[in-house]
Amino acid sequence: MSEAVIHIEQGKPGSAPGTIEVSAELKSGEVVAGQHLHIPLNSSLTITLRVAQVLESKAHGVRFVLDCDDEEATELVIALNFEDELLRLS
């Protein structure tokens, strides 16, 4: 499976319960459904979320949906404020 590095521009609750819609600048690679976004909390703990769907992919930008399982998990991830972060997908 391919890997990517992205710079998160915006993360907001998706239209379906338990999802997050992400807008990001693509730094390298390609974002595809089934990849996992890794959000580091500290040097030894990372939250990993699956890319459920790619909504739009352009030369330097991408919009995709993350699967968070339920609304409580969605609220927790949104509260982490992962915008303006450089993150890895694999």
Instruction: Residue 80: give the domain boundaries.
Output: 4-89
Q: State which amino acid sits at residue 42.
A: N
pLDDT band at 1 (very low <50, low <70, confident <90, very high): low
pLDDT digits (tens, 9 = 90+) for 55-78: 998 878 999 999 998 889 999 999
CATH number for 52: 2.40.30
Residue 48's nearest CA partner among 62, 25, 68 is 68
Mean pLDDT of 38-63: 93
Q: Which amino acid is at 40?
A: P
Query: Average pLDDT, stretch 47-58?
Result: 94
How many domains are contained in the chain? 1
